[in-house]
């Protein structure tokens, strides 16, 4: 069936991989990439598909409800994949209101526009909200997040995403909008903005700058290669059950310090440096306030019901990621000046 799909946040890290997958795999879908192009949005991420006939870009802010209504009507949007968000925990600690505006108000604006435009027959349309495992809060040393785990967000970022998830479910329960939600673990891979742990460390190793590890470095995350997340999103969008939630994860838990040590080993080899050289750059710094100890996903529902599983081992994915950053240093250079450097210096100075 032909569809006109609105993908929000398609110039960002995960969104750009989802847009590419959809444009290339489904020539019968028109893909409308809506993005405000904040500091995290970069059209370079999808330069390779910009001239495809089924790809369209719209610069807009999801906080602007009138504009969002207009775009959905004018383009006869049939389905929405909603990824646009303020996404960085550390920035949310500094400016929580920006997170409430985009992540909560922006999501409600999209839900309202969809509710109004699709009201004749909700069954013909789908609103897919892409969320995070951070809504579940923090695990101790044991256990996994399932779809039934209670929400317990701690950072302004995770609180805003939790709120948006609740609104999406409320529009399903109250108005009958067809929705599906997925909550994914930490992503890594090409095109990730270098304020997140893995690209920040790759960039700093290249430049022989300190590798800032918050607290004791024992915080644990479950890492998934971004293209495996995009593949999961494709499955959930097409085959996920109306009203359901799917947890997506890599069965791939790493303590931050172990991950950074592995990255140092890989980078020393790639850069022909003496083994152990990059590890000397590790610097333990002041902890993040409200830092969640451990995230880990039980992905058995999506594996059982939709047949999805991660395709890459972590060592392979990390090596691909390092290769991409080494081959695309101009991509990082273009965004690590100006406002990024101001953020970096403010955030890490005296930490």
Catalytic residue check, 133: yes
Q: How many residues bind ligand TYD (CB under 6 A)?
A: 12
Distance of alpha carbon 201 from alpha carbon 207, whole angstroms? 10
9: left (phi over 0), alpha (psi -120 to 50) or beta: left
Instruction: Compute CA distances 350 → 201, 212, 216, 290, 347, whole Å.
Output: 18, 11, 17, 19, 9
Q: Which is nearer to ligand TYD, 41 or 199 (CB)?
A: 199
- If contact means CB under 5 to 8 A according to the sort of partner, which of ligand TYD, ligand NAD, none does residue 83 touch? ligand NAD
User: Does residue 117 belong to the site contacting ligand TYD (CB under 6 A)?
Assistant: no
- Residue 38 interacts with ligand NAD (CB under 6 A)? yes
Q: Read off the tokens for 93.
A: 């600690």
Tokens 């370079």 found at: 44
Which of 107, 256, 332, 336 is close enough to bind ligand TYD by CB under 6 A? 256
When CB distances are held under 5 to 8 angstroms depending on the partner's kind, the choice from ligand TYD, ligand NAD, none that residue 11 binds is ligand NAD
What does DSSP assign to residue 196?
Answer: S
Binding mask 39-68 for ligand NAD (x = CB under 6 A): -xx-------------------xxx-----
Is 157 an active-site residue?
Answer: yes
- Is 134 marked active-site? yes
User: Per CB under 6 A, which of residues 86..105 are in contact with ligand NAD?
Assistant: 86-87, 102
User: Among 87, 15, 81, 3, which Cα is nearest to 49's?
Assistant: 15
Residues 343/195, Cβ–Cβ less than 8 Å? yes
Instruction: Give the whole-angstrom CA distance, residue 138 versus residue 58.
Output: 37
**Binding to ligand NAD, residues 327-346 (CB under 6 A):** none
CB of 19 to ligand TYD, least distance (A): 22
**52, 166, 169, 196: which one binds ligand TYD (CB under 6 A):** 196
Distance CA(253)–CA(57), nearest Å, equals: 36
Pattern 166-205, binding to ligand NAD, x per CB under 6 A?
Answer: ------------------x-xx-----x------------
Question: 71 or 177, CB closer to ligand NAD?
Answer: 71
**Nearer to ligand NAD by C-beta: 85 or 259?**
85
Q: Which of 172, 221, 231, 251 binds ligand TYD (CB under 6 A)?
A: 221
Does 250 interact with ligand TYD (rule: CB under 6 A)? Answer: no
Residues 3, 36, 91, 126: which binds ligand NAD (CB under 6 A)?
Answer: 36
Give, to the nearest 10 degrees, the angle between helix 314-327 and helix 197-206: 50
Report the C-alpha dihedral over residues 335, 338, 339, 342, rounded to 10 degrees.
120
> Does residue 8 contact residue 82 with C-beta atoms inside 8 Å?
yes
CA atoms of 265 and 282, how far apart (whole Å): 13
Question: By CB under 6 A, is residue 9 in contact with ligand NAD?
Answer: yes
Residue 284 binds to ligand TYD (criterion: CB under 6 A): no
Choosing from 35, 61, 79, 134, the catalytic residue is 134
Phi, psi values for residue 105, rounded to 5°: -60, -45
Alpha helix (H) ranges present in the chain? Answer: 13-25, 65-74, 89-94, 96-99, 107-117, 156-175, 197-206, 226-239, 256-270, 300-306, 314-327, 329-335, 339-348
Q: Measured between alpha carbons, how far is 235 from 66 in angstroms, rounded to an integer?
A: 31
Minimum CB separation from ligand NAD for residue 268, in Å?
A: 26
Question: Hey, which residues are catalytic here?
Answer: 133-134, 157
Residue ranges in contact with ligand TYD by CB under 6 A: 89, 186, 196-197, 200, 212-214, 219, 221, 256, 288
Residue ranges in contact with ligand NAD by CB under 6 A: 8-9, 11-15, 35-38, 40-41, 61-63, 83-87, 102, 106, 130, 132, 161, 184, 186-187, 193
């Amino acid at each position: 069936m032909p569809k006109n799909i609105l993908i929000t946040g398609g110039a960002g890290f995960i969104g750009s991989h989802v847009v590419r997958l959809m444009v290339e795999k489904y020539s019968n879908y028109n893909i409308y990439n809506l993005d405000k192009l904040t500091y995290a949005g970069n059209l370079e991420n999808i330069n390779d598909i910009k001239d495809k006939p089924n790809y369209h870009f719209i610069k807009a802010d999801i906080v602007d409800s009138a504009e969002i209504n207009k775009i959905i009507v004018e383009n006869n949007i049939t389905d929405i994949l909603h990824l646009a968000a303020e996404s960085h925990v550390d920035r949310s600690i500094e400016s929580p209101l920006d997170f409430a505006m985009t992540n909560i108000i922006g999501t409600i604006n999209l839900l309202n526009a969809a509710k109004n435009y699709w009201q004749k027959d909700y069954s013909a349309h789908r609103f897919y909200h892409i969320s995070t495992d951070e809504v579940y809060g923090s695990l101790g040393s044991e256990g996994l997040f399932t779809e039934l785990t209670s929400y317990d967000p701690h950072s302004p970022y995770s609180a805003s995403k939790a709120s948006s998830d609740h609104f999406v479910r409320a529009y399903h329960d109250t108005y009958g909008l067809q929705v599906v939600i997925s909550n994914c673990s930490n992503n890594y891979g090409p095109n990730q903005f270098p304020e997140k742990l893995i690209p920040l460390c790759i960039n700093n190793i290249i430049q022989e700058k300190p590798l800032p590890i918050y607290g004791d470095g024992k915080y644990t995350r479950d890492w998934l290669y971004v293209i495996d997340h995009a593949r999961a999103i494709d499955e959930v969008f097409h085959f996920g059950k109306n009203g359901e939630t799917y947890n997506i994860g890599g069965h791939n838990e790493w303590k931050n310090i172990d991950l950074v040590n592995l990255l140092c080993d890989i980078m020393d080899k790639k850069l022909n440096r003496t083994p152990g050289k990059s590890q000397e750059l590790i610097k333990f710094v002041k902890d993040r306030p409200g830092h969640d100890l451990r995230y880990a996903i039980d992905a058995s529902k999506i594996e059982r019901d939709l047949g999805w599983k991660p395709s890459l081992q972590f060592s392979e994915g990390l090596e691909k990621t390092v290769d991409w950053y080494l081959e695309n240093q101009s991509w990082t250079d273009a965004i690590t000046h100006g406002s990024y450097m101001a953020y970096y210096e403010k955030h890490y100075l005296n930490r």
